[in-house]
A and B are shown apart, each in its own frame.
Chain A
């Protein structure tokens, strides 16, 4: 057996589990997910910002896809529909920004679809601004720092693929009495944000966020599949370590 076959085995198991659990959860069963205190912080902050008529910004990272962190960009897009409630779509205080054009186009489509689901297909929403402060990592940060500085008590959500430079955004937001929620998936961004941000989601918990915001059978199935695969992986690592110790591998 080589690594490629092992990888395909994992992918096949994941597909089967996903399909089986999705059908199972569609018939009324559900999977109880672990408590997430950061999510509670985010919900409180969102309510406070909407009621106070304050500005909110979602930053979706710098990349839709990367070889080191595949899926982070897609995951950040999956978070967006959960945040676009009717109040958000109407009050005009939400900005969604990114430094990549493709992410920008997808976000625009999600916003338009969410609006048309609640109102009329003939209307174009003006409540949510999708902005690209800069097309490169640093120009994007520079543009956002400027934006955050102008509107104090900002509600900032960081989700997606970032580098350590993201801590500049959280620093500006916190210094202006804002609230920061971060689901920045890369190790460097997590390490940079850890000393600054209280509501910081780490590791694979990033991938739980879309389901926590808008639960669905498919997302429940995703959590359960991920948990099963994680346990399977742990046992495989332990077994491999034991086999190596006794000289089989």
Chain B
């Protein structure tokens, strides 16, 4: 009975949203209501997720695991952010300063590490994958794109040189479009499988 109810709700909501693309004027009030409910549910899910996060770190502290110290820092930061968020609003200068001076630098430092990691991984490409057509194509395209973006590749203005450069510049876009078309088709089929209840990712 529980499963039938879930499937019925899924079918009703899914088909209504789909029909909303065909009849946007007629279904706009019900669509906005469904979207509002969706946003509310997603917000609640975030709270549940944060609850799991806190529970996990409390259990790590109680079990005296190796990352005990980091869990204590996380919990302290979490509690202080909540208190500050309750005292000041999200747009308050104190809160904004905290975001700019703490969170953004931390995220930027991760990005800096990422740049180094990607560079070293590219150097190790051949040892990881060997001399395969894919790895050679990847290396060549990386080198050519770097050269093009840095302005190091110059084949003369006008004539065949321009045509070749334009072709090289458009080549990554063509590849990306190919992958996106495939992903779009895959996404369409997954969505339809869920809508037709052939697939039930919310619980088999």
- CB pair A203–B183 under 8 Å, yes or no, is yes
Does A83 sit within 8 A of B, measured CB to CB? no
Which residues of chain B are near A14, meaning CB under 8 Å? 188-189, 192
- CB pair B193–A218 under 8 Å, yes or no, is yes
The CA of A134 and the CA of B186, in the complex, are separated in Å by 29
Q: In the complex, which of the residues B56, B182, B183, B188 has the most CB atoms of chain A within 10 Å of its own CB atom?
A: B183
Does A94 sit within 8 A of B, measured CB to CB? no
Which residues of chain B are near A62, meaning CB under 8 Å? none
Interface positions of A from 165 to 184, Cβ below 8 Å from B: 165, 167-168, 171
- CB pair A18–B193 under 8 Å, yes or no, is yes
Which residues of chain B are near A100, meaning CB under 8 Å? 45-46, 49
Interface of A is mostly: helix
The CA of A132 and the CA of B48, in the complex, are separated in Å by 10
Stretch at the interface among A39-47, A49-57, A221-229: A221-229
The CA of A141 and the CA of B182, in the complex, are separated in Å by 28
Which residues of chain B are near A132, meaning CB under 8 Å? 49-50, 52-53, 56
- CB pair A105–B49 under 8 Å, yes or no, is yes
- The residue of chain A having its C-beta at the shortest distance from the C-beta of B191 within the complex is A71
Tally chain B residues at the interface, Cβ within 8 Å: 57
Which residues of chain A are near B65, meaning CB under 8 Å? 150
The interface of chain A, by Cβ under 8 A from chain B, is 8, 10-11, 14-15, 18-19, 22, 68-72, 74-75, 77-78, 80-81, 100-102, 104-106, 109-110, 113-114, 117, 129-135, 138, 141-142, 146-147, 150, 164-165, 167-168, 171, 185, 187, 190, 192, 194-198, 202-204, 206-207, 210, 218-219, 221-222, 225-226, 229-230, 233
A-B pairs with beta carbons under 8 Å apart, 23 shown: A11-B192, A14-B189, A15-B192, A104-B45, A106-B202, A131-B53, A146-B70, A164-B114, A168-B110, A171-B121, A187-B180, A190-B179, A192-B121, A194-B134, A195-B128, A195-B138, A203-B179, A203-B182, A204-B185, A207-B189, A221-B198, A222-B198, A229-B188
